[in-house]
Structure 1
Amino acid sequence: MLGEFGDRSRSPGISGRPDFALVGLLRIPETQTSPWASLVRRVLFAVALLFGAALVVYIGRDGYKDNSGGELSFLDAFYYATVSLSTTGYGDIAPASASARLVNIVIITPLRVLFLIVLVGTTISVLTERSRQAFKIQRWRHSVRNHTVVVGYGTKGRTAIHAMLADGVQSADIVVVDTDTVALEAAGNAGLVTVHGSATQSDVLRLASVQNAASVIVATNRDDTAVLVTLTARELNKSAKIVVAIREAENIHLLRQSGADSVVVSSETAGRLLGIATTTPTVVEIMEDLLTPEEGFAVTERDVEPSEIGGSPRHLSDIVLGVVRSGQLHRVGEPAVDAIEAGDKLLYIRRVPK
């Protein structure tokens, strides 16, 4: 852990780099489009450029000279636009007047450049990919707020994200931080914003905009790494809700001292379920149901309604498990919550339609 602290102190200032230099570290998911749709769009754009150039030439046809004589028709104008934008230039139709030549300089030449860009669109798209990503990164960093940062895209991180998505959280509101490029590729393919780097470094978390996040999920493979990530995240954001998964219960106090709001001991939780399953497997089944929102039931929280104030949580139509008052959870049956008060939140079992 001391070595990780040392790495953190020598942080190169990733979050302070220009947006162009962040391409590859921060990835904004692309909107997937069909190659045929992209090709058709480029062809239509090229045709539109041709028609636009032809219209400009036709409007100013009096300033052009045709070697065959006679006034330019729209077909002649379209022919001139085609050979001009493609840089063929046979010379049989040429701008003769000063105004026509000015139009060629100001309008036709820029259209020619655009037309050539469309013709070599595949090559240009490769060259402009970094610029497009840099622009998306800049826009994202200025707009992201109240999102969730998930550190680690292993089994725990993926499952946590799956649960959030099933509960209605938008994929655009989730940012994944990991050092594994394969895991980040999978997260990116799932439509998630990804950041490549160690979350033990404050600059990497700043790049994930953890300072503006509403919550942070720490799902690393090592407990000591989880402690350091929690310390760093809490230092950057004093108000975010930080939830941490660890392997050993003896490290709970370290996570609490580091600033974690909730700590889940994965090994002990799995062990309890295994023990229960030997005698009452249906209990494990209903627990899985409650923890999987799309399966039919979900444990969730809501504000009390005005008509419920003063009543007992045990007499409501919902199955209430507890009452959250001033940020503290009280189980149903405790004297402190015999009567519901304004501002309380109810922790209850919600039925999810399949």
Structure 2
Amino acid sequence: MSESSPPPPPADLRAWAWLLVAFTLLMVGYFTLPLEWFGDRRPLVSWLGFAGALAALSWLMVVKIVGVLRGTAKRPVAWLVFLIALAMNIFSASYFVLGSHKAEFAGLETRLDALYFTVVTMATVGYGDITPSGQAARLVVMLQIGYNFVFLAAAAGTASRAVRSTVEQRFRGRD
């Protein structure tokens, strides 16, 4: 930040502080919640929970993206980043539950492995050290890839548009 540029508005700092707290809570929840409750013993509940979480996440993502496009969203970048982190948690939790069956994943043993696999899949890197080998795991990976193409790409484009708009408004305000 140069000497002539003003400090960020307090609202921006609050939004990023909120995002940091929310992300921390998501990670604490992911690493501490008893995900072992899901899985083979409760397959219907597990699949319905996953489908419901993904549907709710998709709906929230659409609402925020439409809000940005209409110009009515408040703190759109922070919200979109939070929703991306929430997607990461949902898919990581699903992979961890599926990974409890050795037939579903090769190389996935811990929650950190599941989180790592999710990030690698989101980034479309695919190192090959963890691979889905079962039908259920492959289905969830395909759903994540589709989700990434549709929702995360739209969220990234929308966030970029919101940032560009904010920067343009601030520069116009200086003139």
TM range (shorter): 0.3 to 0.5
> TM-score normalized by structure 2?
0.45
Q: Which has the higher contact order (CA 8 A, sep 6+)?
A: 2
Higher-strand-fraction structure: 1
> TM-score normalized by structure 1?
0.23
Which structure has the larger Rg over C-alpha atoms?
1
Higher-helix-fraction structure: 2
